[in-house]
Amino acid sequence: MSSREIPLFSWWSAARKDNFATTDRAWAAAPGTSIEAHDGYTMYRIEGALFAPDDPQPGGTVRVSRFYSPSRGDNFLTTDPRHLPGDILAPDYHHSRHEGYLYDPKRPQPTGTVPIFSWWNSDRGDNFATSNPDWSMPVGEIEWAGEHVSNGPVREGYRLYRLEGFAKTFDLDTLDDFVRDRMKVCYKLIIDIHEDNNRDDPRLDLVVASFGGYYQIEAHTTGTLANHSGLDIGSGGSILPLPGEDVRNTYRGCFDVEHPANGADPHLALAIRAVDEDNSSDENRGKDLNYFKRGIRNALERATSGGVILTEPVLQSAAGEELIDRFGRDDDDKIGVAVAVIADCYRQSVAVCRTPPSETTRG
């Protein structure tokens, strides 16, 4: 089985003074894109293509890991074999994602590739990885001191300290093929009241349906967002608290969902549910998500069979009626539900759902 090649996207936040590179599809965008839910980060460059993290590791490649420091608000990529998942690097960098694979920096550069160099600015507390030829040095002139480059240049307060590896070149004309039929549903969850000794375990469940001519429906969940270690990581997206925020209170990210062609007059229905996880089993949580999805499907089928468009009040009712504790021993608590029905969604590129929670039940 061959490994897929996926683009490495570079983002910049002026507020955080942070460069951030990722292959996460939730952050896939065209250069110049800025997304509110991503804390003002703007995508400015595609560095090249990595081999996908979920595919077999190709020979002659090294693992690319992303680490994040909540105290610095800094992300950095590395292929340094000394830095492993589970490590905590000074001052408080935690492993946050496996980004894919690069060709080994200690081997000759393969044809059709570009070098990825890492830079560090101590004044900003910012790591920066790029293939930009203006931020590079001749590979043949590198002098290694262990895992670092000892003779890296300095530019604008940044010092080049490592060659991470070699990325395949990426053709911008193929970007649409990578993001086609995909859509981001971004969220920001704020917990205003803490119980259980401030050890809330929030998760978000999402049901999304596209309809008009025929319909398609799918369900997603972040799983538990909080791990109580000062860094919040969820499978629904990258959790990046802003400086000064209480990371126990605020969670951000994006779901990456299908966005299929769907006949004439296409619509989109979104229902998102916040849950405080307590002592329920994984089996019951899976059943909960399926019942949530079934409730939205039933409401959609009732509306379409009657020849009408699903409305937000009907969707709100369907999303809110699915009880978390239907299994008796299920101990999770539904915090609230927000919904949106978006007409002509293929011509409307941005839609915002800010419906306040319909419930505030706490266990």
Q: Mean pLDDT per 10-residue run, the chain (363 residues)?
A: 85 86 80 64 90 93 94 92 91 93 97 97 94 96 97 97 96 67 68 54 82 71 64 37 51 68 62 81 80 85 76 83 54 76 56 37 28
* 3-state DSSP of 137-148: CCHHHCCEECCE
**Spatial distance between the Cα atoms of 219 and 165, rounded to a whole number of angstroms:** 37
The pLDDT score that the predictor gives to residue 36 is: 53
Check residue 73 and give left, alpha or beta (phi > 0: left; psi -120 to 50: alpha). Answer: left
Total Cβ atoms within 10 A of residue 109:
16
pTM more than 0.75 = no
- Total residues belonging to the chain: 363
**Residue 118 in contact with residue 129, Cβ under 8 Å?**
yes
State the pLDDT at residue 39.
63
What pLDDT sits at residue 179? 58
Query: Which secondary-structure segment (H or E) carries 207?
Result: strand 202-211
- How far apart are the C-alpha atoms of 243 and 220, rounded to whole Å? 29
Where are any strands of DSSP class E within the chain? 5-13, 18-22, 42-51, 61-69, 74-78, 88-89, 93-103, 113-121, 126-130, 144-145, 148-149, 154-155, 158-168, 182-190, 202-211, 215-221, 250-258, 267-276, 333-343
Q: What sections of 156-199 are H helices per DSSP? A: 175-179
306 and 260 in contact (C-beta within 8 Å)? no
